[in-house]
Structure 1
């Protein structure tokens, strides 16, 4: 499977993720921090904060053990409206232990955030100093797989499920000759950050996580996403996630929506799902699924 983002043993150091230069308005996120298990307890604010910390630290130094970074608290205002809540998210990231699968089949378990110091939090010009745990830094040092994320889109999401699914598809959308991927229901729930014990039936998962996520992604991103249920007998046991690049007009519509105020956005994109979400798929691209693949979000509530 050919992929501009996929590792290649012949790549030089210049092709490592941490040596890449993000374009203006973008951040580059190593796949190791997208394809993880154990982060379902993180809130939308936690995830936004972590992305900003990664963006600030991004570069070869992110892969160096013991390196410390610093960011102005003013740069974190988009993620938290108070320092108390900022502290809660910092501690949540420190407590979160994630599992990262290696290519050799082994699994690393690491914390997301290490030592940090919130200096003068009551001052207008306070700063946060922080570090990436050394074991995680070692993993990121050799990363060759990544996602390019649009900063405006990341800031616009109102659902952590939308943000997580957007990151996962961004990591895949540039794959050549690949437009879909199958997931077990358990793996998909983990992928989008559904906590254990919540949204247990597919009907609830679809109504409260999948549909809202697809509405936001398909309205705001430069690509479209579909999610189709797969069954074992009458029971939904997995999903197929499909994706496709938008044409120029659809990208212009997404950009225009990003420039509009967040107030009223849900009302603007509700009811226009079919027009926004159809990426021009044909049924023969999903052999064997019949009519179960919609042109947009999953439309049926199945337990």
Structure 2
């Protein structure tokens, strides 16, 4: 894990975060799911713990780092509570070497300083199953912290992580049934029962953001039996150097105007005509 952490720091200018592949592919039991805010906080915790995240020790982070652009801490307790109580379902090998599923919490415990000051600290300890998964993993997704924080849709964060895990592979594809897609995305139970709604509010909403900010393009293909969609294949295609550089530049820009830049709706201010400039100069002189 230390080696996985060093690579994005050297290549990504210190903004890289590594997340074990098993955690990227984790699903949520009983229809539970992490909100977009909780997913982002988990990435921030992994970034803070860095290459030592697998160790049995306590880490700390300021409330200012966790709350980001939000001024108050009122949302922070709810997000941390959500992260602490939500269980992950992770594919592992059993003690006798068989395919198995481990269900575990992300955090074992946390301690918060009572002050609302941005420099007050939150201490936390990852759960033992989480630490063992990170310690044993041999494949990691290299995430860019600023990219994760830039996404608005919770499904954009999830699919961005999936893409970062796969887009450098020879076959950069995720595939599964509709039920497996729901589990991977963490779609709450009972929501988007129709494929049209599921596609519109998850894949299509995420594609708009990912194609704008990620180093890859998101596409998918539907496989049907008759009129019913049975299986979906999602592909993460690497961008060329110019497109990747533009995505990186957009991440560094202000969030203000991002949607307009994405849709091409930004207005360009025309140059001032010479006669208008002369009249303005005359008026300034009185």
Aligned CA-pair RMSD: 1.9
User: TM-score with structure 2 length normalisation?
Assistant: 0.82
1:102-136 Cα shifts (integer Å, max 9, x gaps): 14311111001121011133234200000001122
The residue number in structure 2 matching 1:90 is 80
The residue number in structure 1 matching 2:161 is 167
More helix by share: 2
CA 1:152–1:143 in 2, change beyond 3 Å: closer, same or farther?
Answer: same
> Which of 45, 53, 56 lines up with 1:62 in the alignment?
53
Q: Give the deviation of 1:241 after TM superposition.
A: 0.7
Map of 2:243 onto structure 1? 250
**Matched position secondary structure for 1:63:** coil
Select the residue among 101, 123, 132 that pairs with 2:91.
101
- For residue 146 of structure 2, what is the aligned residue in structure 1? 152
Aligned counterpart, 1:41 = 33
Q: Which residue of 1 aligns with 2:284?
A: none
Residue 213 of structure 1 corresponds to 206
Q: Distance in 2 between matches of 1:48 and 1:219?
A: 18
CA deviation after TM superposition for structure 1 residue 251, in Å: 1.5
Unaligned runs of 5+ in 1: 1-16, 273-303
Shift of 1:38: 0.6
> Hey, what does 2:44 align to over in structure 1?
52
2:39 is paired with a residue of what secondary structure? helix
Give the structure 2 partner of residue 200 of structure 1. Answer: 193
Partner Cα distance (1:123, 1:76) in 2: 12
Cα distance 1:79–1:194, how it changes in 2: closer, same or farther (>3 A)?
farther
Q: Match for residue 261 of structure 2?
A: 268
State which structure, 1 or 2, has the greater radius of gyration over its C-alpha atoms.
Answer: 2
Q: 1:31 maps to what in 2?
A: 21
State the TM-score, normalizing by the size of structure 1.
Answer: 0.78
Tell whether the 8 Å contact from 1:230 to 1:237 is kept in structure 2 after alignment. yes
Distance 2:99 2:110 in 1: 32
The corresponding residue for 1:233 is: 226
- Partners of 2:87 and 2:194 in 1: CA distance: 26
